Amino acid sequence: MATVKEGDFNAIKEEVKKVLKQPGYDDGSAGPVFVRLAWHASGNYSLVEHNGGSNGAGMRFPPESVDPANAGLHHAISFLLPIQAANSWISHADLWTLAGVAAIEAMGGPTVPWQPGRTDYDSGEAASEHRGELADRLPDGAKGADHIRDVFGRMGFSDQEIVALSGAHSLGRCHPDRSGFDGPWVVNPTRFSNQYFKLLLTRKWTPRKWDGPFQYETIVAGTRLMMLPTDMALIEDPKFRPWVEKYAADQGLFFKDFALAFGKLIELGVERDDTGFAKLVNKAAREGKP
């Protein structure tokens, strides 16, 4: 990988775009798993506890590194390692979120607002301070609307933002050896679009008969597509459903709302000082102790 000028984040974005093509991996692209990395790096934020979020890149250490919800994300982390090795000035926390943003853009999606400044935990700090607290906070695809609202409400997201963010399931697939679920949501899972919403509304989804966890399926042009119970909750719940309908009908609106919501997601837990530096606040300081 190229070493780029310190602070040139646009050049880093271009470096990320160069590693997107991964022949032999999934659908030939690291894009979807980069988006999932940025999401899981951020999505354990708690407004109330005031911890978690994208600052720190805690997923390199326990408890996040061993959280079953993060299974498979080591692929994304290793695809990015050469960029990190050639550009040690960028924090992992900045690189992971920027990789998600670059991937969304390269796969035909909107430009998500992104700012640098995140810092990384050293292992000692992450392990001793946050043991246990930061795991078990990501959503469980086997559950329903109440669970989704609990999890995203903890991060400060509205119903509209929850539905917009869920449109990321137009990317990538489920892996039996990661989540247990299986298959992609859409026919072209490396293209960012509003297909996920259209398929939710227009297809007949039936329970898949198989040995794996309960999920829904439909066959489109010979390809088996899937929905999780949490995906189906978006059309079953009367407050979520109108947003699914809006985004299915208007891709421009979806792109605009997705960019804002994803931009907010990757900022969770990032508090910059005047210089733009987001230092890691330790537990004692958070609790107002000297």
Nearest residue to ligand ZEM, using CB?
A: 172
Which letter does DSSP use for residue 62 in this model?
T
**185 catalytic residue (yes or no):** yes
| Beta-carbon count within 10 A of 249 CB | 13
Query: What's the burial of 37, exposed, middle or buried (CB within 10 Å: 0-12/13-18/19+)?
Result: buried
Which among 39, 40, 92, 130 is annotated as catalytic? 40
**89 catalytic residue (yes or no):** no
Q: Nearer to ligand ZEM by C-beta: 193 or 230?
A: 230
Which among 39, 96, 114, 185 is annotated as catalytic? 185
- Report the site for ligand ZEM in 151-210 (rule: CB under 6 A): 165-166, 168-169, 171-175, 178-179, 181
Buried b (16+ CB within 10 A) or exposed e, 86-123: ebeebbbbbbbbbbbbbbbbbbebbebebbbbbbbbee
Q: Nearer to ligand ZEM by C-beta: 82 or 139?
A: 139
Binding to ligand ZEM by residue 141, rule CB under 6 A? Answer: yes
The H or E element that residue 227 is part of is: strand 223-227
CA distances to 58, 206, 230, 265 from 121, in Å = 6, 44, 32, 19
Q: How far is the CB of 179 from ligand ZEM (least distance, A)?
A: 3
Window of 28-36, 79-87, 191-199, 247-255 that interacts with ligand ZEM by CB under 6 A: 28-36
Which of residues 12, 77, 80, 148 is near ligand ZEM by CB under 6 A?
148
Tokens of 120: 């990384």
- Give the contact letters, 94-133, x = binds to ligand ZEM (CB under 6 A), - = no: ----------------------------------------
